[in-house]
Amino acid sequence: MAVLPIVEGRIPFNIPSISKECFTFYKIIGDLTDNTPLICLHGGPGAGHEGDESFWQESLSVDEFWNVIKYFKLERYHILGHSWGAALGAVLASTKLSSGLQRLILCSGLVDVHIANKNFRRLVKELPSDIRDVIVKHDEDQEYDKADYSAALEYFFKKHAYRDEPFPGEHVGRALANFADDETSVFTTAGDKFMTCTGSLRDWTVIPRLSDIEAPTLVIDGEFDYAPVESFFTGIKKVK
């Protein structure tokens, strides 16, 4: 079996609102010139980065993506997005700049924050009472550093986020460590409450823009996922 080359690097990314130099990290597996590349957008958003509400907006991620496309001079590409990356993928696919997009894959994606909040609260309500009560109490009191709260969240995530053993596994564990190193971004975008988004994305939705997506789209959803994706199926023209 041939070993694919892997290249990592950073792309300069100019953000007019801040003075310091910024970059986008990338990893290329294979050769961009061989076939139409698949661009993978991770969840988060912004794991391991800093910012405030005015900084961490949808527009930042959109501008960053088009900067990558321009840097590599990509005329044709596919997008695979997971979680927030799927939400961003849907946004990108709905824009007039997306003529180069050939296929879109949305995995466990966010469609609308208010719908996700409602479903989150439903799933917490269905937990065993001792687990549920701990999450509700500490969420209301904003006590996020308690051992019983951490244990209750782990129970929830084992059920609805990562069901493999051991938890959290190598790759998910690395992402969680990223968040632990710098919680600024996740608290800025999602807020500090567990069951309700109160951050800069608190009113975010892509639903009104789904009808503008022209690329054939594959939606992947897990049985136990906590973000409902039904609107992808009702809003996108070519979807399965």
- pLDDT tens, residue by residue, 178-220: 666 666 677 788 777 877 888 888 999 999 999 999 999 999 9
Q: In this structure, is residue 24 part of a structural domain?
A: yes
User: What local confidence, expressed as pLDDT, does residue 8 receive?
Assistant: 96
CATH of the domain at 51: 3.40.50.1820
Does residue 221 have a pLDDT over 50? yes
Most confident residue range from 41-50, 110-119, 162-171: 110-119
Q: In this structure, is residue 67 part of a structural domain?
A: yes
Q: How many CB atoms lie within 10 A of CB 43?
A: 18
- Comparing CA positions, the residue from 119, 80, 44, 84 lying closest to residue 219 is 80
Do 132 and 65 fall within a single domain?
no
Report the domain count for the chain: 2
User: What local confidence, expressed as pLDDT, does residue 118 receive?
Assistant: 93
Q: In this structure, is residue 147 part of a structural domain?
A: yes
Do 92 and 144 fall within a single domain?
no
Does residue 67 have a pLDDT over 80? yes
Do 118 and 93 contact (CB within 8 A), yes or no? no
Q: In this structure, is residue 197 part of a structural domain?
A: no
Do 174 and 65 fall within a single domain?
no
Q: In this structure, is residue 1 part of a structural domain?
A: no
Does residue 49 have a pLDDT over 70? no
Q: Could you tell me the end-to-end alpha-carbon distance of the chain, in angstroms, rounded to an integer?
A: 32
User: What local confidence, expressed as pLDDT, does residue 46 receive?
Assistant: 53
Does residue 48 have a pLDDT over 50? no
- Comparing CA positions, the residue from 2, 72, 74 lying closest to residue 36 is 74
Q: In this structure, is residue 84 part of a structural domain?
A: yes
Angle between helices 84-93 and 58-72 (to 10 degrees): 70
H helical segments located in the chain:
58-72, 84-93, 113-125, 129-141, 147-160, 169-181, 184-190, 230-235
User: What local confidence, expressed as pLDDT, does residue 239 receive?
Assistant: 97
| pLDDT over 90, % of the chain | 54
Do 109 and 10 fall within a single domain?
yes
Given 190, 210, 227, which residue is the final one in a domain? 190
Q: Which residues lie below 8 Å from residue 226, measured CB to CB, with a gap of 6+?
A: 116, 119, 120, 123, 160, 161
The residue type at 237: K
Do 109 and 123 fall within a single domain?
no
Strand ranges across the sheet with 77-82: 38-41, 77-82, 101-107, 217-220
Do 148 and 175 fall within a single domain?
yes
3-class SS of residue 216: coil
Strand partners, 112: 205
Do 61 and 136 fall within a single domain?
no
Label residues 63-82 b or e (16+ Cβ within 10 Å = b): eebebebeeeeeeebbbbbb
DSSP secondary structure string for all residues of 46-71: STT----TTTSSHHHHHHHHHHHHHH
pTM confidence score: 0.87
Do 147 and 161 fall within a single domain?
yes
Do 128 and 102 fall within a single domain?
no
Do 77 and 32 fall within a single domain?
yes
Q: Residue range 126-139: average pLDDT? A: 93
Q: Which domain holds residue 170?
A: 114-190
Do 158 and 67 fall within a single domain?
no
> Which pLDDT band, with edges at 50, 70 and 90, does 52 fall under?
low
Q: In this structure, is residue 209 part of a structural domain?
A: yes
Do 81 and 17 fall within a single domain?
yes
Task: Tell whether the torsion through CA atoms of 228, 231, 234 and 239 is positive or negative.
Answer: negative
